Structure 1
Amino acid sequence: MKVTIEVDCTPEEARSFLGLPDVQPMQEEMMAEIRDRMLGAVKAMDPAEMMKAWMPGSAGFDQMQSLFNLMTGAARTK
């Protein structure tokens, strides 16, 4: 014997019928938090931001470039 039952309802109707909570507001809040954290991580990957983190204060690109020139120049003399 085979019995088939078809229920036609929206997710909201099914949740209320089964007594389940509506978690959509919580999901939206969590997605906003995840988005903010991901955007913050992307900003940290920006070369200019990395330079600021590695060389705070007055140090900048010129100092980093001279450091690289010293390292590569020292490698050529050996």
Structure 2
Amino acid sequence: MKINITFDLTPEEFRQVMGLPDVQEYQQELFNAMLEKMKAGEEGYDAMSLYQPLVKESMNAMSQFQNLMFSAMSGNGDKNTNKK
């Protein structure tokens, strides 16, 4: 037996369902600050230094989510629950 379930959600609806924060304002502020510095030609400005912490944390969160989904699908929840 095969069952397929399809959800038709916008990215915003998906974030709300998953309980994820809405970071659009933060992203826009970060982009505007980066754009201002680029236009001003600030010496020593490195655009990647602004995004590096975000990329690292988002990749870590994605990895944790994938591990959670893999554990749930494989039935390997908490292995130490019933063992003595």
TM-score calculated relative to the size of structure 2: 0.44
Which structure features the higher share of helix residues?
Answer: 1
Q: Which one has the largest radius of gyration?
A: 1
TM-score calculated relative to the size of structure 1: 0.47
